[in-house]
Amino acid sequence: MKNDITAVSERLDRTVHCISVPTGLPVGAVNAYLIKQDGQAVLLDCGPNRKESETALIQGLRTQGVYHYGDLSALILTHGHVDHVGLAGKIQSEGVPVYSHPDVAYWVDAALQGDRYRMDFYQALYTLCDMPEHLQQKAMSEFLFLQQLNDQSVVNGSLIDGDRPDCLPTMNVVEVPGHAQAAIGLWEEATGTFFGGDQLIGRISSNALVEPELGAASGAQAKRTRSLLDYRNNLRRLLELPINVVLAGHGSPVEHPHDLIKQRLLDQERRRDKVWELVRTSPGESAWFYTAQYFPHRMDQPSLILSEILGFLDWLEADGAICSKTVDGVLRFFIK
């Protein structure tokens, strides 16, 4: 990947510089984008709160004449995952306003206790899905580790579907729920450029992560999102937008994004069919049973693989192909 992705339009007076920020996580480096337009310097995502990550971010900003965080006009967060938001607190402490989907606040603002809410939700979910105890402990340990990479911040301004940020007047906000429920992209219609966060990545397919719905009395009582269904709906919506290139949250720019979107949708259908076959041949089993059958060699990532299989089970149930019921505290799935 070229370190400097520059897209300049004399008419728009806009430049884009990609800063590759190491995360120390399996996903690899995250892309932070410095967008300069009309005298403003806007940072899109920032990386986790790690010394190595911050050093790379600062060096990348300095190559573009941004020598202090305070020189930035704004920080925009595509979604709340720690590899994208962890340094937001440090940047904000130098007077930089933070903008995002309003519900990203539950990921970055300690006062809202979003981490506790999610932790309680996942503990209940893993038990409901019959995940083995030692893997539950592993998943929760990873959750706590990721919390440490987030320097808490607050959301100063909300960005929702259809908004046009004052700091980026040529960009339109597009809500992209799926990989994360509170997620946005920035679409520049004039150039067909889409800043997509983790919605569409060239080298890997984005996992539509199951999350708790907000508003319950506690995370343990929260319903789970049908994230894969949301993700598919959103991908189909992106097919309708004239997008020429996606500047992704990880990896290289995605050229011909509509072709990749169609391939992702097709791949999901094939995986769904494999999960249906697992339920057909072994009805009445738990979500974890089907997860272990589908991913026998991926036990190092229990939370991610369970989330993926739950997505397909929810899809099959929404289509009326299967049904579920809780038996002795475990959610089990059956062919209809």
The predicted pLDDT at position 152 comes to 87
Q: How many domains does the chain have?
A: 1
The answer to whether position 3 is within a domain reads no
Confidence of residue 6 (pLDDT cuts 50, 70, 90): very low
- Tell me whether residue 40 is in a domain: yes
Render pLDDT for 179-222 as a digit per residue (tens, 0 to 9).
999 999 999 999 999 999 999 999 889 999 999 999 999 999 99
pLDDT category at 12 given cuts 50, 70, 90 is: low
Handedness of CA 257, 259, 260, 266 (dihedral sign): positive
Domain membership flag for residue 4:
no
pLDDT of residue 203: 86
User: Span 61-67, mean pLDDT?
Assistant: 97
Terminal alpha carbon distance of the chain: 48
The one-letter amino acid at 303? S
Q: Does 1 reside within a domain?
A: no
In this prediction, residue 14 has a pLDDT band, given cuts at 50, 70 and 90, of confident
Tokens standing for residue 42 = 């806007």
Provide the H-helix boundaries in 26-104.
Answer: 51-62, 82-85, 88-92
Q: What are phi and psi of 34, to 5 degrees?
A: -95, 115
Please enumerate in sequence order all residues whose Cβ is within 8 A of that of 244, keeping only pairs 6 or more positions apart, or say none. Answer: 191, 192, 193, 255, 257
Q: Encoding tokens for residue 49?
A: 């709160």
Angstrom distance (rounded) from CA 222 to CA 217: 8
Residue 53 lies in a domain: yes
Sheet of 285-286: strand order equals 285-286, 330-335, 322-327
Dist. CA 253–CA 202, nearest whole Å: 7
Tens of pLDDT along 70-104? 999 999 999 999 999 999 999 999 999 999 999 99
Q: In the chain, which ranges are E strands? A: 14-21, 30-37, 40-44, 74-76, 98-100, 157-158, 172-175, 184-188, 193-197, 245-248, 254-255, 285-286, 322-327, 330-335
pLDDT at 34: 98
| Amino acid 1: pLDDT | 38
pLDDT computed for residue 13 by the predictor: 73
Question: Is 5 a member of any domain?
Answer: no
- Residue 304 lies inside a defined structural domain of this protein: yes
- Kindly report, residue by residue over 155-185, the tens digit of the pLDDT: 999 999 999 999 999 999 999 999 999 999 9
Percentage of residues in the chain having pLDDT higher than 70 = 96
Give pairs for 267-273: CB < 8 Å, separation 24+. Answer: 267/205, 268/228, 268/232, 268/312, 271/312, 272/312, 272/315, 272/316
Calculate what percentage of the chain has a pLDDT beyond 90: 93
Cα–Cα distance for residue pair 89/106, rounded to 1 Å:
14
pLDDT, residue 274, reads 98
Residue-range definition of the domain harbouring residue 105 = 14-335
Give the model confidence (pLDDT) of 111-169 as tens digits: 999 999 999 999 999 999 999 999 999 999 999 999 999 988 999 999 999 999 999 99
Structural contact between residues 286 and 331, judged by C-beta atoms closer than 8 angstroms: yes
> What pLDDT, on a 0 to 100 scale, did the predictor assign at position 76?
99
* Mean pLDDT estimate for the chain: 95
Tens digits of residue pLDDT in 238-272: 999 999 999 999 999 999 999 999 999 999 999 99
In a domain, 153, yes or no: yes
The predicted pLDDT at position 5 comes to: 41
Instruction: Measure CA 72 to chain center.
Output: 24
Tell me the pLDDT band of 8, cut-offs 50, 70 and 90. very low
Q: Write out the H or E segment, with its range, that includes residue 249.
A: none
CATH number at residue 250: 3.60.15.10
DSSP 10: T
